[in-house]
Amino acid sequence: MTTLDPDTLPSISDAATHPIDITRRPRHGFGATLRSPIGIAATVTLLTLVFFAIFGPVLWGETAGQADLTKLSAKPSAEHLLGTDAGGRDVLARVLTATRLSLTSALMATAIAVSVGVVAGLLPIVAPRRIANAVNGVIGVALAFPALLLAIVVSIMFGAGLVGVSLAIGLAMAPSYARLTQTLGASVAGRDFVAAARILGAGRTRILVKHILPNVRDPLIVNASIGAGTALVAATGLSFLGLGVQAPRYDWGRMLGESLNSIYVNPAASLGLCAAIVLAGVTFALTGEALARALGVHRPSGRRKRRPSSAGSEGSAVPQPQRVVDDAVLSVRGLTVQAPQAEGWTTLVDGVSFDVGRGEIVGIVGESGSGKSLTCMAVACLLEQPLSVSASSIRFDDTELAVDGHSGAAPRGKEVAAQLGTRMALVFQDPSTSLNPSIHVGTQVAEIGELHGGLSRKEARRRAIDRLGSVRIPDPERRAGQYPHEFSGGMRQRAMLAMGLMGEPALIIADEPTTALDVTVQREVLSLLHEVNQERGTAVMFVSHDISLVSSFCTRVLVMYRGSLVEDLTAADLAAGRAQHPYTRALAASVPHMDSEPGSEFATIHEGAVFDDDPAQGAS
Ligand SMILES: Nc1ncnc2c1ncn2[C@@H]1O[C@H](COP(=O)(O)OP(=O)(O)OP(=O)(O)O)[C@@H](O)[C@H]1O
């Protein structure tokens, strides 16, 4: 029997761990995918493979069985395109005939792997804790065990043959599908709609069937499709070793093992078999890619949708803001953020232009979804593909951040990265997700000092403790050694601010920093921001839904509506009811007052009234 180094065999342990991000991307649908190049390639190759699997044994089975003892291991000829094997049989006919058995073992193995993996992966969600722990333990141990060895052991246990090899590979691949299912399931289980279902009293099984399974299904289908290619290669490997289908049946693996004996006499036979295996593998990969595209499951690929033309394209006039500030720390011109859709691009932020003066506190208000956060993230160069960010100019602290009219998280020079790291600080809305839960707060705060401040680890830690103290975190030395979960929400926000203060920030972007906090803590965070602004002259961009808070805390207010900046006015004008734009007036009028009649309805902004001539109609 041919011997083979197991290390050279394909790895089946990671069959289900292809780099699939479960984040949803736009679904292209099956129709559009079938018309795309990848859809066409997948369809053609898959149909070809299916044709040979179904009709191969019927059309070429007889020829494949006929032995010509005068032509043993013959080279390719017009009669035998890939030559003959050691028994004088036509290699091409046998390759085509073997398609059915080779694919059958790969598909059976994949079906076993996915079924066992999904059940094992989801069981811990519904089973009692002890069983769940036991299942998790078994999955962990199985994952740690070399998958190929597991497959060989299982195939010896079940005996050589089609069923044995399928079971062996299926069971060897199952742990990775179980882990994938667990990961996907856990990410769904943490979402708000599952929490809402729990609150409504839905049982575990119902949550599993109704909420979790439908959300993990598509990535699993895509993974299974690609994993089938790995199963095929693994089944071929086991057959090659003599553990797969037995004579008189044959598959590509067995044939490959036999052809090696005459590889110097007729190399075409081995090459033909390898080509068949590679083509089948590529077919599964293409099918997976096409399914990912159709179902909207993200698989990183080299090709990206062509970005829409930049805002800074030649000939277009530079858009001017409603108010130009002389000494601006931030000047944004024509900022546009777009997201890809199945058909074209949708504009989420539409040509926004504004200035933030040095030391100024500028508020951004607008209803949910108006583009406030995207504007801030774009300014901080934090938006990533597939979003497209373009701008004529984003000038921060005398550095141009828009390159060739485009901005975003594109790799940029070290200097610009250091500039952003030390001169711009960010405080996000949700204090529970802003800090890495597995790293001490002090280490996280200190990191920026080491990274961009050129400080040693010790110096950075000392400065981090100092900054934690300066944002009024009591006992900062002890607190620096704690994890984020040991901090309250307000303390986490202050730690974020301390992180920003490790450098000398010229601008703090605070995106709804107080929304998740109670009123008292809210006041503390605001007074801290105010203090930093007053003492260090740091400008603040303060995002909020709360128009009354913004008019009291900020000096100037930018009003956003459906991705556009509709008004730029002073906080004093806003507070005194001197807003010009109907939407701003409607927004101001929708704020409930203490002197409102008890029992009266809250004012709401209704769609059509926003651009009416009569501002009084804006709020009703
Ligand atoms: N990564 C993304 N891909 C596609 N669309 C997005 C993305 N991020 C945000 N959006 C959409 O862009 C619009 C603006 O989002 P943004 O988060 O800026 O709103 P917002 O004004 O900050 O709202 P909120 O006050 O609720 O946080 C929304 O319709 C949102 O659904």
Q: What pLDDT does 200 receive?
A: 57
Residue with tokens 């000038």: 395
Residue 192 has pLDDT above 60, yes or no: no
Measured from the CB, is residue 16 less than 6 Å from ligand 1? no
Read off the CATH number of the domain in which 277 is found.
1.10.3720.10
Residue 146: asked if its preceding bond is cis (omega within 30°), the reply is no
Q: What pLDDT does 17 receive?
A: 43
> Dihedral (C-alpha) 124, 128, 129, 133: value to the nearest 10 degrees?
-50
Measured from the CB, is residue 565 less than 6 Å from ligand 1? no
**Residues 609 and 556 placed together within one structural domain of the fold:** no
373 C-alpha to ligand 1 centroid (Å): 7
370 C-alpha to ligand 1 centroid (Å): 7
pLDDT digits (tens, 9 = 90+) for 23-39: 444 556 677 778 888 88
Helices and strands (H, E) in the chain, number of each type:
22, 14
Atom of ligand 1 lying closest to residue 349 CA: 14
- For the four alpha carbons of 442, 443, 447 and 453, in that order, the dihedral sign comes to positive
368 C-alpha to ligand 1 centroid (Å): 8
Structural domain includes residue 570:
yes
Structural domain includes residue 396:
yes
Structural domain includes residue 320:
no
Structural domain includes residue 317:
no
Measured from the CB, is residue 500 less than 6 Å from ligand 1? no
Q: Cα(500)–Cα(247) distance, rounded to whole angstroms?
A: 71
Question: Which range marks the domain in which residue 402 is found?
Answer: 328-580
CA–CA–CA angle 115, 241, 229 (5° rounding)? 40
Q: What is the mean pLDDT of residues 480-488?
A: 89
Measured from the CB, is residue 490 less than 6 Å from ligand 1? no
Measured from the CB, is residue 340 less than 6 Å from ligand 1? no
Domain count of the fold of the chain: 3
ipTM above 0.90, yes or no: yes
Question: With helix as H, strand as E and coil as C, how does 374-391 read?
Answer: HHHHHHCCCCCCCCEEEC
Atom of ligand 1 lying closest to residue 545 CA: 25
Strands 328-340 and 345-357 turn out to be antiparallel
Which amino acid residue places its CA nearest to atom 17 of ligand 1? 373
Q: Phi and psi dihedrals of 537, rounded to 5?
A: 70, 25
Measured from the CB, is residue 338 less than 6 Å from ligand 1? no
Residue 369 has pLDDT above 50, yes or no: yes
Of 27, 345, 364, 373, the residue with max ligand 1 atoms within 8 A of its CB, to mutate for a pocket test, comes to 373
Which amino acid residue places its CA nearest to atom 8 of ligand 1? 374
Which amino acid residue places its CA nearest to atom 9 of ligand 1? 374
- Exposed / middle / buried, residue 141 (Cβ in 10 Å: 0-12, 13-18, 19+): exposed
CA–CA–CA angle 80, 83, 87 (5° rounding)? 105
**Residues 410 and 523 placed together within one structural domain of the fold:** yes
Q: Could you please report the per-residue DSSP string of 552-578?
A: HH-SEEEEEETTEEEEEEEHHHHHTT-
215 C-alpha to ligand 1 centroid (Å): 22
Q: What are the beta bridge partners of residue 390? A: 336, 406
More confident residue, 395 or 295: 395
Q: What pLDDT does 620 receive?
A: 41
Structural domain includes residue 318:
no
Q: Cα(178)–Cα(220) distance, rounded to whole angstroms?
A: 10
Contacts of 246 (CB under 8 A, 6+ apart): 160, 161
Measured from the CB, is residue 197 less than 6 Å from ligand 1? no
**Residues 589 and 562 placed together within one structural domain of the fold:** no
* Most confident among 98-112, 262-276, 281-295 (mean pLDDT): 98-112
Structural domain includes residue 170:
yes
341 C-alpha to ligand 1 centroid (Å): 14
Percent of the chain beyond pLDDT 90?
Answer: 28
102: alpha, beta or left, given left = phi > 0 and alpha = psi -120 to 50?
alpha
Choice among 94-103, 183-192, 450-459, 557-566 with the minimum mean pLDDT: 183-192
**Residues 384 and 394 placed together within one structural domain of the fold:** yes
Residue with tokens 């598909």: 107
Q: Cα(121)–Cα(179) distance, rounded to whole angstroms?
A: 6
Measured from the CB, is residue 336 less than 6 Å from ligand 1? no
Q: Is 50 in contact with 107 (CB distance < 8 Å)?
A: no
Q: At which of 277, 298, 319 does a domain end?
A: 298
563 C-alpha to ligand 1 centroid (Å): 9
Measured from the CB, is residue 185 less than 6 Å from ligand 1? no
Q: Cα(278)–Cα(259) distance, rounded to whole angstroms?
A: 17
Strand order across the 507-511 sheet: 424-427, 507-511, 539-543, 361-365, 556-561, 564-570
Measured from the CB, is residue 369 less than 6 Å from ligand 1? yes
Residue 162 has pLDDT above 70, yes or no: yes
Q: What pLDDT does 222 receive?
A: 85
**Residues 294 and 192 placed together within one structural domain of the fold:** yes
375 C-alpha to ligand 1 centroid (Å): 9
Measured from the CB, is residue 182 less than 6 Å from ligand 1? no
Residue 613 has pLDDT above 50, yes or no: no
Structural domain includes residue 312:
no
Contacts of 573 (CB under 8 A, 6+ apart): 579
Q: What are the beta bridge partners of residue 557? A: 363, 569
Q: Cα(298)–Cα(50) distance, rounded to whole angstroms?
A: 27
Q: Phi and psi dihedrals of 558, rounded to 5?
A: -105, 130
Q: What pLDDT does 1 receive?
A: 38
**Residues 366 and 437 placed together within one structural domain of the fold:** yes
Strands 539-543 and 507-511 turn out to be parallel
Q: What pLDDT does 507 receive?
A: 93
Measured from the CB, is residue 508 less than 6 Å from ligand 1? no
Q: Cα(94)–Cα(139) distance, rounded to whole angstroms?
A: 39
Of 374, 433, 545, the residue with max ligand 1 atoms within 8 A of its CB, to mutate for a pocket test, comes to 374
Q: For residue 327, count other CB atoms closer than 10 A to its CB.
A: 9
Read off the CATH number of the domain in which 344 is found.
3.40.50.300
Q: Cα(64)–Cα(71) distance, rounded to whole angstroms?
A: 14
Of 370, 383, 388, 564, the residue with max ligand 1 atoms within 8 A of its CB, to mutate for a pocket test, comes to 370
**Residues 271 and 374 placed together within one structural domain of the fold:** no
Q: Cα(474)–Cα(497) distance, rounded to whole angstroms?
A: 15
Average pLDDT, the chain: 81
349 C-alpha to ligand 1 centroid (Å): 9
Structural domain includes residue 306:
no
**Residues 111 and 244 placed together within one structural domain of the fold:** yes
379 C-alpha to ligand 1 centroid (Å): 15
More confident residue, 570 or 521: 570
Residue 223 has pLDDT above 70, yes or no: yes
Measured from the CB, is residue 408 less than 6 Å from ligand 1? no
Percent of the chain beyond pLDDT 70?
Answer: 81
Measured from the CB, is residue 242 less than 6 Å from ligand 1? no
Q: What pLDDT does 196 receive?
A: 56
**Residues 618 and 547 placed together within one structural domain of the fold:** no
Strands 361-365 and 539-543 turn out to be parallel
> Dihedral (C-alpha) 478, 484, 490, 491: value to the nearest 10 degrees?
20
**Residues 410 and 451 placed together within one structural domain of the fold:** yes
**Residues 454 and 441 placed together within one structural domain of the fold:** yes
**Residues 510 and 552 placed together within one structural domain of the fold:** yes
Measured from the CB, is residue 374 less than 6 Å from ligand 1? yes
244 C-alpha to ligand 1 centroid (Å): 54
Q: What pLDDT does 9 receive?
A: 35
Measured from the CB, is residue 368 less than 6 Å from ligand 1? yes
Indicate the SS3 state at residue 184: helix
Q: What pLDDT does 301 receive?
A: 47
Q: Could you please report the per-residue DSSP string of 205-268?
A: HHIIIIIIHHHHHHHHHHHHHHHHHHHHHHHHHHHHTT-SS-TT---HHHHHHHHGGGTTT-HH
Q: What pLDDT does 191 receive?
A: 61
Q: What is the mean pLDDT of residues 283-310?
A: 68
Choice among 171-185, 467-481, 503-517, 551-565 with the minimum mean pLDDT: 503-517
Which amino acid residue places its CA nearest to atom 5 of ligand 1? 339
Q: Cα(418)–Cα(358) distance, rounded to whole angstroms?
A: 20
* Most confident among 309-318, 354-363, 429-438 (mean pLDDT): 354-363
Indicate the SS3 state at residue 365: strand
Measured from the CB, is residue 127 less than 6 Å from ligand 1? no
The token duo for 212 is 């979790």
Residue 581 has pLDDT above 60, yes or no: yes
